[in-house]
Structure 1
């Protein structure tokens, strides 16, 4: 799985290079330490000041390189997390409806928030750190060999024991990390469900029951994390014991060599300092390698969500459909659709919606009216029969081309937590004249006049600051401003008072160039004569 954009390769290379150089310089601190002690013991004042000056210059360069590496690392982490979230979100949004609805939206939220954070904390940061520690280890090993081959040999014996532990625990830790990631997704789903059900919980005095359910899922999540942390604690405690034992052994061995006259006082102190420098990267490697191994399932899950290859050819045939308006008709032939194999919602239905004409589709709940909308708008494409727009098969048309021709005013309106203008325009640029016309045709001007911010007023989460009628008027304006040749009203004015709904619908029916398909349970008798055809489903 690619973690960064191609242009970030230079940033990654710079971070790795500076990290390695910083680790290399850290290892050479011991050489300065040895030199200072030996010069001090020999009483060479002039040489002492020369070493001191060299140490000051060394520390300055070390500081600059360390800061640069840290800064580049933070920039890289920022870019990677942003890139991962962008790709995951794009992959999720480009799924077809059946794939999208097969998972709880909380799973997607968990991937965007929890899984990306896990990749940062348990893969990217440890990976960069492991590279630095590997360089520090190799540099320290070289210096140790130069100062004392015996000490180096003893340290390598301890090293063999040290790396046996993560090798034994890696698979088990990966399983527990996978279980924790899955449980995080379940926790997010449950918490989202409970928060969305606030009104029901409050209205039916269900708080005690919901608190019990939350307590259980919260406990399960904490327990899954603890199971992984517990195994990590074993690894870390073994590392700490090994670290302390190594330093003690090296102190005694180096001290014995000094008493034998084989090493100087400066070399003794340098060896003691290097024993810590040698152990530290090994301990860090031992602690982080299991993390890197354990994050594999999480990264595979993110890679699955990022997989948008099935959509990359979506626009390949766009030129074939470049045309304006609806020229002829939308024709449905032998249309059959079922959500389950043994439950057909529509069966062998034929419909003809001619350009510029007005149609009403009437029927009781469950007869397939909403399903027909989803089929006409390309939401579901695994139907039997044919749907053709101006002779082109809807199954082969890019979704963008369908959206250019058909707009839907839904009964259940979703509004983003921004302002009214943004919820109408949805990121597109429209002139003041176009916006004003959409406001007029949707009947929004009356309620906007009473709002302090006008069209720039905030709507709240899913429009909670507005009434149901106000939300539906925004939905009408959202559809009208796009000037699509076909407009579908799915009970689109049900939350508006009857007279206002009548006026809006009548205006739409009077527009000669517009093809209107109204989905309704009950028609306003005053408008029956305005329709060119009334289709009854479930009869």
Structure 2
């Protein structure tokens, strides 16, 4: 899965690979030139010594240039791949149903997009590049050793197996602890965000110390997990270093034997030691590096990146709902052992204006959640256009129906953006929706008009203004069925009546209006009153 991101950015990664091979070649060439320089000194040949010194300087300057380009391109390519990964996660999330999405907290998804991607950058993408560096250094250095004597290659390969094998002992432990780190990060974000969101409440009750308690509790768990992660990584490194040093000493000793036997030159001891060091250093780190790369695999699996087509695409291809009559037969819902909605039957031919009333806890919001397709495990039957609701694709249902929550979410953006949500609507349609929700006069009074910021969760607006903004967002889209959950409970009576007057006058729309304050002035205008 991780390697697919390298394939999707193959152009820049091929260039990086070429530079890696070039820098490794220059490094091996430098090692060979060291032996030539020593031999020149032994032979007391000044001209050759100067010649090889100049060549060595040129090699190192070229190597420095390669390293600069290499690491700059690492940064560019890594960020491209990280963006692709974030887009894939977002695509997976936007393709989820209401129930599937809400199996996790929104802060968990934020942690996926931030903390997890950062971890994959560090231990996934970066380490794949390190593996490429190690492979190039190993292959080119072994090739260079062959120019001295074949026995050096045999010895190097045998010792390489030992160097590469030892760190694998801790592979599984590192994989487990890496997954624990990301889980602790998610828990920290969820726990601390909950306290931060409730800061005003804590301040009112003089309980702001809960923030410190929460940060300490979750922070200690992350710290303990990361210490364990570091410990395991250090174990792997220590095993690799021990094998590396032993292998280098054995290689230098064997080169000395070849020198005494007049099989190779004295200067070779400098080159073979350096070349062998390249091989063993690479292989000593290869195991831990591969472990780190493999350890990010569980992270990629949990994102469910193979999820079906995204919701946006589904909504374009979904077969539209052809009828808008709503019928319920013994419709009910339970939350575990607790009843959420007692059995209920009704018929709402299109277009009907119906008020849903009842005491708190009788299931008014539950009814709307069922009709909106959020709760599919209901009892009894409910149909739209003659089709059982649970069999209607969510995308098709969303084309026909809109649910306005009693606590609508307002994005930290402008009035215009909160209304259009990125869609293109004529200004006249926007102002018509604002007028219908009794918000037009307020927006006209703002210096920036439709481009007025609303603040985080709409905090710069009153509760009633936020509710009317959400209503306008719904009215702007002219759905055939509008479900309004306590849509006027934060409004003054005059504003509430104005909003009710507007949707009651809509000729081509079914409206289910949940309310705890049915105004006498409009009571007779509803076609039905459903009492729970």
Q: Structure 2 length as normaliser, TM-score?
A: 0.90
The Cα of 1:138 is off from its aligned counterpart by 2.0
Counterpart for residue 530 of structure 1: 525
The answer to whether residue 334 in structure 2 is matched with residue 334 in structure 1 is no
The 8 Å contact of residues 38 and 266 in structure 1, kept in 2 or not, is answered as yes
**Secondary structure of the corresponding residue to residue 369 of structure 2:** helix
The 8 Å contact of residues 321 and 385 in structure 2, kept in 1 or not, is answered as no
1:307-352 Cα distance to aligned partner (Å, 9 max, x none): 42387898499574276xxx65222233232232x33433442222
The answer to whether residue 199 in structure 2 is matched with residue 204 in structure 1 is no
The answer to whether residue 386 in structure 2 is matched with residue 415 in structure 1 is no
The Cα of 1:495 is off from its aligned counterpart by 1.2
Q: Which moved more, 1:271-280 or 1:362-371?
A: 271-280
Counterpart for residue 147 of structure 2: 146
The Cα of 1:250 is off from its aligned counterpart by 4.6
Counterpart for residue 493 of structure 2: 498
Counterpart for residue 101 of structure 2: 100
The answer to whether residue 359 in structure 2 is matched with residue 364 in structure 1 is yes
Counterpart for residue 320 of structure 2: 321
The 8 Å contact of residues 251 and 276 in structure 2, kept in 1 or not, is answered as yes
1:209-228 Cα distance to aligned partner (Å, 9 max, x none): 44234312211110011111
The Cα of 1:408 is off from its aligned counterpart by 2.5
Structure 2 segments unaligned to the other structure (5+ residues):
none
Structure 1 pair 212–84 and aligned structure 2 pair: CA distance change class (3 A): same
1:20-56 Cα distance to aligned partner (Å, 9 max, x none): 4433443232223333443455455665666566556
Structure 1 pair 317–203 and aligned structure 2 pair: CA distance change class (3 A): closer
Distance 1:484 1:356 in 2: 12
The 8 Å contact of residues 15 and 73 in structure 1, kept in 2 or not, is answered as yes
The Cα of 1:462 is off from its aligned counterpart by 0.9
The 8 Å contact of residues 107 and 189 in structure 2, kept in 1 or not, is answered as yes
The Cα of 1:530 is off from its aligned counterpart by 1.4
Structure 1 pair 62–352 and aligned structure 2 pair: CA distance change class (3 A): same
The 8 Å contact of residues 314 and 398 in structure 1, kept in 2 or not, is answered as no
The 8 Å contact of residues 19 and 69 in structure 1, kept in 2 or not, is answered as yes
**Secondary structure of the corresponding residue to residue 531 of structure 1:** coil
The 8 Å contact of residues 110 and 185 in structure 1, kept in 2 or not, is answered as yes
Distance 1:139 1:13 in 2: 18
Structure 1 segments unaligned to the other structure (5+ residues):
none
Distance 2:94 2:259 in 1: 69
Counterpart for residue 121 of structure 1: 122
**Secondary structure of the corresponding residue to residue 147 of structure 1:** coil
**Secondary structure of the corresponding residue to residue 406 of structure 2:** coil
Distance 2:315 2:485 in 1: 31
The Cα of 1:436 is off from its aligned counterpart by 1.6
Structure 1 pair 80–517 and aligned structure 2 pair: CA distance change class (3 A): same
Q: Which moved more, 1:468-477 or 1:3-12?
A: 3-12
The Cα of 1:265 is off from its aligned counterpart by 4.1
Counterpart for residue 480 of structure 2: 485
The 8 Å contact of residues 484 and 513 in structure 2, kept in 1 or not, is answered as yes
Aligned length: 531
**Secondary structure of the corresponding residue to residue 191 of structure 1:** helix
**Secondary structure of the corresponding residue to residue 309 of structure 1:** coil
Q: Which moved more, 1:330-339 or 1:250-259?
A: 250-259
The 8 Å contact of residues 23 and 133 in structure 1, kept in 2 or not, is answered as no
The Cα of 1:122 is off from its aligned counterpart by 1.5
Q: Structure 1 length as normaliser, TM-score?
A: 0.88
